[in-house]
Structure 1
Amino acid sequence: MRRVLTLLAVLVLVAAIGVGALNHFAQRPGPGPGPDPRPAPGNPPGCVAAEVLAAPGTWESRADDDPLAPSANPNSLLLTITGPLREAYPAERVGVWTLPYPAQFRNINALQEMTYDDSQAAGRARLEEELRATHEACPATDFILVGFSQGAVIAGDVAAAIGAGAGPVPAERVAGVALIADGRRDPAQSATVSVPVAGVGLELALAPLNAAVQPIVPGATMRGPRPGGFGELTDRVAQICAPADVVCDAPPAIGDALARARDYAGGNAVHAAYATNPEVFPDATTPEWVIGWARGLIDAALAR
Structure 2
Amino acid sequence: MNPTIIPLFSVIIPTYQRNDLLAKCLDCLAPNVQTLSTESYEVIVTDDGFNTTAEGLIRERYPWAKWVSGSRKGPAANRNNGAKYARGKWLVFTDDDCLPDRHWLEAYAKAIVDESNYQVFEGRTYVNRPKKSLSEVSPINETGGYLWSCNFAIERRLFESIDGFDERFPYAAMEDVDLNYRLTKEGYKSFFVNSASVCHPWRKMGEWQKLKQHQKSTLIYLSIHPEESNRLNKVYYLRAFLKDLILEIIPGILKYRGAGATFALLKLWLFLENMLLVKPPLDRKLEF
Does TM, scored on the shorter chain, surpass 0.5? no
Structure number with larger C-alpha Rg: 2
Which TM-score bucket, shorter chain as reference? Answer: 0.3 to 0.5
Query: Per residue, is there more helix in 1 or in 2?
Result: 2
TM-score (norm 2): 0.33
